[in-house]
Structure 1
Amino acid sequence: MKLTKIYHSQILKAACLLLMVTTAVLFTSCKKDADPTTSKPVKTFVLVHGAFQGAYSWKQVKEDLEKQGQRVLTVELPGHGDDKTDPATITMDSYKNKVVSTIQGLTGKVILVGHSMGGMVISATAEAIPEKIERLIYVGAFVPANGQSLQELSLGDPDSKLKLILQPTAQGTIEINDLSKLTEVFCADASTALKTELLSKYRPDPIAPFAENVMLSIGKFGSVNKSYIRTINDLAIGLAAQNKMLTAAAIKDVYDLQSSHCPHLSKPVELSNLLVKISN
């Protein structure tokens, strides 16, 4: 009888211990699920490349953002990458319309990111559909004031090495006159493999968008939140020019990357982390 009581007592203690452990696990799990601070909110990023590149150039950044649970779309601008549109027919509106159509097919607002020339494109897009954009993020990018062109901004940059290697062609394009200088100006700090890929996929750019004025208004473009990531070691858009543009646009949310003109190639993880930080 005494042994039976001891046996029953041991079973009761074991059952109580199991119940306590189970309750603790369930409580911890529920608390974790209910706490919104344990995970970052998912955002939709739309990434717009710059001149002489294509959507492929965002590959590493796209993969890293997706690993962090973000939704990412990369835009292939007409006449770039694998797009076969005749360069002579392409305008800034062609670029803007491609981005607008991409965003219009999405639910909710997006974080619209532009690199280099892509800054002109995302600005024009914000003017067209400000209600669809949560924030513009410029990455070593051109930021036009109302009525400015990329050509005007580039020629006004005394530190730019890019304008020294550009030349127009009879085919309605603008090209790099010395390809050996392309990676030096764009991504001197990138890996050899990425430099090789950039050169292998190089295509001259349509020339018309360089000279076209981008028309912006305070009520539309001016109403969208903006951030700027300065590329400190940039040889294509000098730091002084970056500062001048972001100041003119009254952009107060400014971040720095110790990178060349193309941090999406040379520092993709750092850039991805910064994009998520800014978006939150």
Structure 2
Amino acid sequence: MKNLLAAVFCAAIVAFTFTGCSKDDNVPPVNSKTFVIVHGAWSAPYAWQSVKAKLEAEGQKVVIVQLAGHGSDNTTAFNTIHLNTYRDQVVHVIDSLNTKVILCGHSMGGMVITQVAEKIPSKIEKMVYVNAFLPVNNQTLLDLANTDGGSLLGQKLIQIQDGVILDVPHDLITDIFVQDGSDAVKNLVISNYRTEPGMPFGEPATITKANYGSVDKYYIHTLQDHAITYNLQQRMVAAAGIKKTYTLNTSHSPFLAKPDSLSIILEKIAK
């Protein structure tokens, strides 16, 4: 009888131990944050996978939104895609998460997160512009790009179907977007390249101090950017009054050229 009781007691202890471990494994770290990342033009979620993995290894949750007409989306007609199409996609993702998020936008994605912050400011803990277009009220991406005389992208932009489709010379893709990347990174960018929906580039941002203006903002500069020059980045930040900035000595694609360095900055912002 004693042996039977001892066996039952041991079995109960083992079961409790394994059950406890299972629960702990499913509990997120106390300081865990949820990042929602919006990629830029001529890009897709693939470009952010290294940063996603690094942030998740630190206990963060990361959701990368695939914008309409990008990545694996081959069904959405470019002439139906507007800036608010992107905005509504991101709003839908954030609504599904049931928590405040750190909203990050790269390049053209800066226009998108600006509109998202205007729509749902209470659901955004912080927003991060990663060498992104940063408009003031009623300003378009093209308004900003047309002031960037040093941009290699602006000089080479190809408009198709009256601007419904935007392209760049294919032999300049890596020089424009990731001149400091490894051969593997450059091949990755080339193999994933697609033409870009053009109409959002000419559509103005609508922002107010009460909504967009209430969200805590950060900007990450890139010094060797051939698409959005450091000069334009500085002018946009000054116009927006953003005081919290970081700087990386990279091309337009820090998430590919220096994902470790970018991840460290995002971790700092999260904390």
Matched, 1:247 2:238: yes
Matched, 1:81 2:71: yes
Tell me the equivalent position of 1:175.
167
Instruction: State the TM-score, normalized to the length of structure 2.
Output: 0.87
Aligned to 1:211: 202
- Amino acid in structure 2 at the alignment position of 1:127: E
Question: 1:115 is matched with which residue?
Answer: 106
Aligned residues: 242
Shift of 1:202: 0.8
Deviations, residues 136-184 of structure 1 (Å, cap 9, x unaligned): 10111100000000011001112111111111112821111x1111111
Answering whether residue 140 of structure 2 is matched by residue 149 of structure 1, we say yes
Looking at structure 2, the residues matched to 111 and 232 of structure 1 have their Cα atoms a distance apart, in angstroms, of 24
Q: Secondary structure at the match of 1:146?
A: coil
Alignment partner of 1:222 is 2:213: yes
Residue pairs, 1:34-45, within 5 angstroms = 41-45=31-35
What do you get for the CA RMSD once the two structures are aligned? 1.3
Match of 2:52 among 62, 80, 86: 62
Per the TM alignment, residue 40 of structure 1 is displaced from its structure 2 partner at its CA by 7.1
Change (3 A) 1:227 1:40: farther
| Aligned twin of 1:47 | 37
Ranges of 4+ aligned residues in structure 1 off by more than 4 Å: none
- Whole-angstrom CA distance in 1 between matches of 2:263 and 2:98: 22
Q: Between the two proteins, what is the percent identity of the paired residues?
A: 44
Q: Secondary structure at the match of 2:62?
A: strand
Letter in 2 for 1:102: V
The residue number in structure 2 matching 1:266 is 257
1:186 CA drift (Å): 0.8
**For residue 173 of structure 1, what is the amino acid of its counterpart?**
I
Task: Name the CA distance, whole Å, in 2 between partners of 1:215 and 1:81.
Answer: 27
CA distance in 1, matches of 2:113, 2:224: 23
What TM-score, normalized to structure 1?
Answer: 0.84
User: What letter corresponds to residue 122 of structure 1 in structure 2?
Assistant: I
The residue type equivalent to 2:34 in the other structure is T
* Structure 2, unaligned runs of 5 or more: 1-28
Deviations 1:238-258 (A, max 9, x none): 111001101111100011001
User: Equivalents in 2 of 1:249, 1:116: separation in Å?
Assistant: 16
The residue type equivalent to 1:248 in the other structure is A
- Structure 2 residue 127 is matched with structure 1 residue 128: no
Separation (CA, whole Å) in 2 of partners of 1:90 and 1:137: 24
| Alpha-carbon separation, structure 2, partners of 1:251 and 1:83 | 34
Unaligned runs of at least 5 residues, structure 1? 1-38
Quote how far apart the aligned CAs of 1:56 are: 1.0
Q: How far did residue 204 of structure 1 move?
A: 0.8
Deviation at 1:214, TM superposition (A): 0.8
Amino acid at match of 1:204: T
By how many angstroms is 1:199 displaced? 0.9
1:191 aligned onto 2:179: no
